[in-house]
Amino acid sequence: MSGSFLFKFILIIVLIVFFICIFFSPFLLTSFSINMTYQNNILLDMSSDYSWPCPGYTRISSYFGYRKKPTSGASTYHSGIDIPAPHGSNIVAIFDGYIQYTGFKGADGFTIIIESNNFTAIYGHVSPNFKVYEGQLVKKGQIIGNVGPKIVYNVPNNPYFDNKGNQTNGATTR
């Protein structure tokens, strides 16, 4: 084989592979794509059993586990994750389940609790204007509430205050 023939042969093989990749990639991608759909104007990954609780806000400001105490009244063991999002942002059910609690719950502030089988999801620091009620069946991705304000008013027995003496929505850091 001459060098010219070998070069042409390799070039033809590369072009054929390139053509096959370009032509068949749309078919391959659709057969392996993640099952995405819109529900309540929120894009959901339907191939998962869970949905992200605060669509559009993916930063985690405090992780599950031991941490430095971020504010007075907060624990050094954090039993959840904190997702910083602006007041009023949507909060969605991470799985199908029943609303077990809506109300003020100590360091979590205004809280929504969903239970399903052996799982419990606790959403803290939510708006006191609940969009769900106790006993209600909710579906994964359904809007259940909104991110609450830091300052709340007239909450009986609320021991949480900011440095100006205003009642806060539980033990908050922002």
- What is the mean pLDDT for each group of 10 consecutive residues in the chain (174 residues)? 62 55 43 42 58 90 69 60 91 95 93 92 94 96 95 92 91 70
Which residues fall within 8 angstroms of residue 29, CB to CB, at 6 or more apart? none
Q: What is the pLDDT of residue 33?
A: 37
Residue 79 in any domain: the answer is yes
Residue 163 in any domain: the answer is no
Entry pTM: 0.69
Q: 126: closest CA among 163, 97, 159, 101?
A: 101
Q: Which domain holds residue 28?
A: 1-33
Residue 135 in any domain: the answer is yes
User: Cα(first)–Cα(last) distance of the chain, in Å?
Assistant: 73
Q: What is the CATH number of the domain that holds 43?
A: 2.70.70.10
Tell whether 97 and 65 lie within a shared domain. Answer: yes
- State the total domains in the chain: 2
Q: What is the pLDDT of residue 46?
A: 53
C-alpha triplet 50, 54, 58: angle, nearest 5°: 95
- Which helix (H) or strand (E) segment is 92 a member of? strand 90-92
